Amino acid sequence: MSGTRITNPILWADVPDIDIIRVESSFYMVSTSMHAMPGCPIMKSANLRDWEIVNYVFDTLEDNDAHNLVDGKGIYGQGSWASSLRYHNGTFYVCFSCNDMQQFYIYRTQDIENGRWERNAIKGLLHDPALLFDAGRVFVFSGNGDIHITELTTDLKAIQPEGICQLLFEGERDGIGLRIEGCHAYKLNGYYYLFFIDWPRTGNGRRRQLCYRSKELLGPYEHKVIVDDDLGYRNKGVAQGGIVDTPAGEWHAFLFQDHDAVGRIPCVLPMIWESGWPVLGEGGKVPEAFETQLPESASKSIAISDEFEYAEDKLALNWQWNHNPDKQLWSVTTRPGYLRLMTGHLASSVVHARNTLTQRTEGPVCSGAAVLELNHMRPGDYAGLVALQNAYGTVGIQVSYSGERYVVTGMNRGDGGMETVERVPYEHSSIQVKIAFDFRESRDLASFFYSVAGEEWTAIGRPLQMTYTLDHFMGYRIGLFNYAEKEAGGFVDFDYFHYMKA
């Protein structure tokens, strides 16, 4: 069997806080999705390199004004964080905390690729949890700096009233900006292993990966720094993750790296054991590429083009809505071959607009283009493409309150509202718009274009200097939007979305 060459990053896109398990010959990965719905994407791979989205843990986390983006704020940067994925006795489990709901969620299914997930919620937060099954008992490790252990009931539906619930240990404080968090927990070869990220202010001053170990559940724990490397990229430390083995007995670690506007991108490292400690990378470094005994498989794109040809109102798994969508106001079957986005709510800007349909962007460069049919827009409507983060940029058609059409580029003026950068009169009934993203060496520029027939593109406005901010806590996405400022009831038909990656 020929092996697979893994090149880092395995995905140059925002797939943060990953957790990976292996079941027989298949690897499964979950990651943070926050305000994007459906949430908690499940990805599958045969070789840790080629991943495809196969399911989501939930379609809707909560049905309230904030999650529905009708409260004027939304849940940007909140929602589901840092999920833990485990398989035990024929059942898959995913658990995470949700800051805005102040709850800890546990989902389960017996069919990770096609099944529905049963949900249970427990009041209170267990920050960045790690789930561990141990000799008929169930534990969650959580915390930032002060690491706690909490025992759950064996059915994972409540905290065990008579179980262990205590401070396990305290991480380092001196010279540390971000104390240890992001736990991944394992019991292997007589040891309990806990993996963490921290961010010291001293030394290299970048994120790094630590491993704590003990022969006893409650310690004492000893620890080592096991990765302190930036893969040659702008002192951005590669850290936060865990480990997984292969059918052939190889071990690998999975971590991620901040890449500014594109988001947090996952990496895989070779790993060996020495004296009961995991040794990651090659000579203490994260390799750009290395060989494995894993099989070759087809590469699947995390972002796709779409002609919107569907037999039912169920989109490809690559799409996620910005917050919960209003299901009554979108369709791919009302007019076959088109995505129809209808306005039903007034919005002050694209970050407050419901039913914005998004995909991840990818480095080093990528672009997305769409064609819009405009005849059913109403005065005050704005529709097109968005480079979505707090510092957003848009290109599309805006209808003035008196009914004239304009090609408009806009950007966040600082308070969420839109500053019009350039406005050009437009008389045609359809338009093609495009956003080109350049993430090379954190250049982080988005440029905007439009075309009447798609043969010649005209640049409009100025490039957006994309900025990753923690209020959204998500890498830039490209989105299709349509919202009303004056009156609801109009709609736009998108004929296609074409995605290109260099």
Which residues are paired to 123 by β-bridges? 103
The reported pLDDT for the residue numbered 10 is 98
Residues 228 and 345 in one domain: no
Q: Are residues 379 and 282 in the same domain?
A: no
- Asked whether residue 78 falls in the same domain as residue 187, the answer is yes
End-to-end CA distance of the chain: 30
Asked if residue 314 belongs to a domain, the reply is no
pLDDT score of 284: 83
Which among 79, 35, 72, 32 is positioned nearest to 323, based on CA atoms?
A: 35
d(CA 181, CA 147): 8
**For residues 104 and 97, is the Cβ–Cβ distance under 8 A?**
yes
Q: Which structural domain, as residue segments, surrounds residue 142?
A: 4-292
Together in a domain, 200 and 331: no
Q: Nearest 10 degrees: CA dihedral of 182, 15, 77, 502?
A: 150
- Are 176 and 247 found together in one domain? yes
Domain with residue 418: its CATH number is 2.60.120.200
Does residue 44 lie in a domain region? Answer: yes
Please tell me whether residues 329 and 287 are part of one structural domain.
Answer: no
| Per-residue pLDDT at 316 | 98
**CA 253/CA 271 separation, integer angstroms:** 6
Place of tokens 């529709």: 383
For residue 198, what are the CA distances in angstroms to 94, 169, 172, 398, 461? 24, 15, 9, 46, 41
Are residues 175 and 275 both part of a single domain? yes
Q: Show which of 292, 307, 334 is a domain's final residue.
A: 292
* Catalytic choice (62, 100, 151, 181): 181
Closest CA to 457 of 360, 375, 385, 381: 385
* Cα–Cα distance list, 299 to 48, 231, 303, 397, 498 (Å): 11, 23, 12, 36, 19
The answer to whether residue 238 sits within a structural domain is yes
**181 is a catalytic site residue:** yes
* Whether residue 187 is found in the same domain as residue 287: yes
**pLDDT of 455:** 79
Question: Rounded CA gap, 387 and 464, in Å?
Answer: 9
Residue 480 lies in a domain: yes
Answer yes or no: is 307 within a domain.
no
Do the beta carbons of residue 343 and residue 491 sit within 8 Å? yes
Is the bond preceding residue 364 a cis peptide, omega within 30 degrees? yes
Q: Are residues 341 and 280 in the same domain?
A: no
Residue at 251 is within a domain? yes
Would you say residue 364 lies in a domain? yes
pLDDT along the chain (502 residues), means of 10: 89 98 98 97 98 98 98 96 97 97 98 97 97 98 98 98 97 96 98 98 97 98 98 97 98 98 98 98 94 94 97 98 98 98 96 98 98 98 98 98 98 94 97 98 97 91 98 98 97 98 86
Tell me, what's the pLDDT at 283? 85
Do 277 and 330 fall into the same domain? no
Q: Is residue 62 part of a domain?
A: yes
Rounded to 5 degrees, what are φ and ψ at 435? -125, 130
Given this model, what pLDDT does residue 253 score?
Answer: 98
Residue matched to tokens 């796709």: 304
DSSP 126-141: -SS-EEEEETTEEEEE
DSSP-assigned states of every residue in 225-238: EEE---TTSTT--E
Report the CATH number at residue 266: 2.115.10.20
Dist. CA 444–CA 155, nearest whole Å? 46
Alpha helices by DSSP H, 266-362:
none
What is the structure's pLDDT at 453?
79
- Structural domain total, the chain: 2
Tell me the β-bridge partners of 433.
370, 450
Confirm if 213 and 220 have CB atoms less than 8 A apart: no
Report the distance separating Cα 297 and Cα 313, nearest Å.
Answer: 30
Name the catalytic one among 14, 17, 100, 228. Answer: 17
Compute the distance between CA of residue 26 and CA of residue 374 in angstroms, rounded to an integer. 46
Whether 66 and 182 share a structural domain: yes
Same domain assignment for residues 248 and 385:
no
